[in-house]
Chains A and B, each alone.
Chain A
Amino acid sequence: MTATVGLISDRLRSAILTGDLEPGEYATQMSLAERLGVSRTPLREALRMLELEGLVLRESNGRFRISPLSIQTVVDLAVMRINVEALAVSLTVPRFGNADHARLEGCLAQIDRYAAVDDWVGLEAPHREFHQMIVSGAGERVTTLLAQLWDHASRYRSIAFQRAADSHEVWEITRTEHRGIVDAFEAYDAAAAAGWIVTQVARTALVVAERIDPTHPVTRVHDLVERFTGSPDLFRTDS
């Protein structure tokens, strides 16, 4: 029974994260049950779980709505992720040994290989592994929250990679940041590692914010970049 609920919520989650269920789309329990080919009782429980994760909104008339993409959520997610990633990375740096550093290098090499052949889908696995590894010393509570925030942010990440021409340009910057993170880990420099991850989360959020609504204030993000790297406007796209 609980296994069923878990399976259904996984399917529902991935349908939302991949955009199969579109942002802002309305759905009833019955239409979802039909679409996913599942019975309604476990679906109800699964919907409650996704509601807690913020992926689904319960409407007053018993209908559901797939959470729309919003500029507020982009900023909200960025603020949370910047703070918690910086913490988690700082906690992980001193715990890593040679084998862990070698694994990080391995992830980067895999990522490079996938990028070289434009396999952005294949790239996801080593990319995710890399990001999971660099926070793995923070403890289960922290990593669970980060995994949730990562899932949520992945709905937005695709916006940053909308056009193929952007992919390579954006990817080169991402690559530099990954390199910076690994260098900092290998030098046991927690502050630098935190600065790099903050840079990456903030930059991605700012690109997405720019695409969704260029007029929306993003000072909260810049303030955090300054707090963690010493300079507020390191990543202003217009400079």
Chain B
Amino acid sequence: MTSTQSNRNGRGRGSVAELRDRLRQAIVSGEIPASATPTQAELAAALGVSRTPLREVLRMLEQENLIIREPNGRFRAAGLSADEIEQLGILRITLEAAAVRITVPELTNADHAALEGMLAEAVRLAEMGEWDGFEDAHQRFHSLLTREAGPMHTEQLGRLWEQETRYRRAFERVGDDEGRVAANMQEHRALLDAAEARDAEAAAWLLAQHHARAVREIGQHLDPDHSMQRLEVTLAIESGRQHTDLRAVPRPNPEKAE
């Protein structure tokens, strides 16, 4: 994102927006560890800012679940961990890929057109750095691709989305560059192409890789030493690699056991 675009969106305008980005960065980088519980006054002093804009910024970050308000009025940075995002990621990949496999064969021409619309919208909003709007279009795109899964299943996907929000919010501007946004959009494009071709298996696999890339990227920032082994196992299952030999496995015969 260039500075011109930031200004056009009002982000460079006041100290509130600047302060929000700064505080967000401090949380993501661990500069404010999750163990610290500063008061508003202590935080203002540490950041060298006045308390009025800080109060507003804290409220914003609290809504994004990046800041937790303790009962005694102190603040704590939400713990962001490579382990947690990996766990959320493997659940999302597993449940969303399953939902995509169910949904893709059922999508109509009108659904394909609607998905095209959401994608075009998301591309434009990302170019402008309108992240709230992007988030919305992005979520609608993924929801439509999982629509045919059962209500408990889609509700669980919604809950995972919420739990991942703070990670997405925290990282949407970290290492933010044209290349990353473009890669993200290309992944959505390929996913939609597979859905339009009614290739459910390909769509599910592209989706899995799409989420895996994001999880790896975020995990890398939070803890470069975290191995993401579980993510690799999850991808092996999704690709079908793990299960090719199962037919050769000797199995006890249920009839014989009776």
Contacts and interface: CB of A to CB of B under 8 A. Distances in A.
A80 B91 contact: no
Nearest to B89: A141
24 contacts: A75-B150, A76-B149, A76-B150, A79-B102, A79-B150, A83-B95, A86-B237, A87-B234, A139-B230, A141-B88, A141-B91, A142-B90, A142-B91, A152-B152, A173-B254, A173-B258, A176-B252, A180-B252, A190-B233, A191-B244, A194-B243, A195-B249, A227-B240, A230-B246
Interface residues of A, number: 47
B87 interface: yes
Contacts of A145: 91, 156
B150 to A, nearest CB: 3
Interface of B: 83-84, 86-88, 90-91, 94-95, 98, 101-102, 149-153, 155-156, 159, 230, 233-234, 237, 240, 242-247, 249, 251-254, 257-258
A87 B150 contact: no
A91 B247 contact: no
A79 B84 CA distance: 24
Contacts of A63: none
Given A176-B257, A192-B249, A231-B247, A84 B94 contact: yes
Contacts, number: 114
A72 B154 CA distance: 13
The B interface, classified by DSSP as helix, strand, loop or mixed, is helix
Nearest to B102: A220
A87 B97 CA distance: 13
A87 B94 contact: yes
A189 interface: yes
Contact of B98 (A79, A183, A184, A190): A79
Given A73-B150, A76-B151, A190-B242, A230 B247 contact: yes
A80 B156 contact: yes
B230 A83 contact: no
Interface in A80-98: 80, 83-84, 86-87, 90-91
Nearest 9 A/B pairs, CB to CB = A76-B150, A141-B87, A230-B247, A192-B249, A176-B257, A139-B87, A83-B98, A173-B254, A176-B252
